[in-house]
Amino acid sequence: MELSPLSPPRLVSNQNENIWQTLRRELLTCTSFTWAVAFITPDMLPPFKLVMEDLRAQDVHGAIITGTYLAFNQPRVFAELLKIPNLKVRITAGPFHAKGYLFDHEDWQTAVIGSANFTRSALLANQEWCVKISSRQDAALTRQLASALAGLTAASQPLTPDWLQSYAASWQ
């Protein structure tokens, strides 16, 4: 069932439509996006890169804020993210375990917030719960999330080849 952009908040899980389908639909209809996700696995990058190529043709850009918490993210994940021209990646310091996805649309925003990292198991199979909220731009909750993301962006550093080289040398 297709919901209108400003439908009531709803629970998104992998029980019926998986979380990746929800995120993919938002990506394909957004004007930009910012995600904060602690963990990213290499097996989610091929479908993500396909979507990003489609978005590049539409001049849609996005950002991902992630980190090195528990050394979970493999250097090859960062190397693949660097290859996506319409994506900016920021690296946080310290313990970072957030999972929030914010999508800007023409005159509204959608947020998906919950337990799902950007991993194949989290987005397709695990028992994960996320809440999907859509609201007019500058509504209280999406404004708070946008502010939190802006704070994370300001407190993080850009993913660069030099940063990746240093991380790869020390990663275990």
Looking at the domain 10-170, which fold is it? Endonuclease; Chain A (3.30.870)
Any idea which residue has 């940063």 for tokens?
163
Least confident of 7-11, 17-21, 151-155, 160-164: 7-11
In angstroms and rounded to an integer, the radius of gyration of the C-alpha atoms of the chain is 15
Whole-number Å distance between alpha carbons of 119 and 44: 6
pLDDT for 33 beyond 70: yes
Contact 119, 38 (CB under 8 A): no
Averaged pLDDT, 59-86: 95
Averaged pLDDT, 48-77: 95
Q: Which helix (H) or strand (E) holds 25?
A: helix 19-29
Cβ atoms < 10 Å from Cβ of 142: 21
pLDDT for 72 beyond 90: no
Q: Which pLDDT score, from 0 to 100, does residue 61 have?
A: 98
> What is the per-residue pLDDT across 36-55, written as a single tens digit (0 to 9) for each?
999 999 999 999 999 999 99
In the chain, % of residues over pLDDT 90: 77
Whole-number Å distance between alpha carbons of 165 and 140: 40
> What is the per-residue pLDDT across 128-170, written as a single tens digit (0 to 9) for each?
999 999 988 667 888 889 899 999 999 999 999 999 999 999 9
Pairing assessment for the beta strands 32-37 and 99-104 based on DSSP bridges: antiparallel
In the chain, % of residues over pLDDT 70: 95
Q: Which pLDDT score, from 0 to 100, does residue 3 have?
A: 47
Ranges of each domain in the chain:
10-170
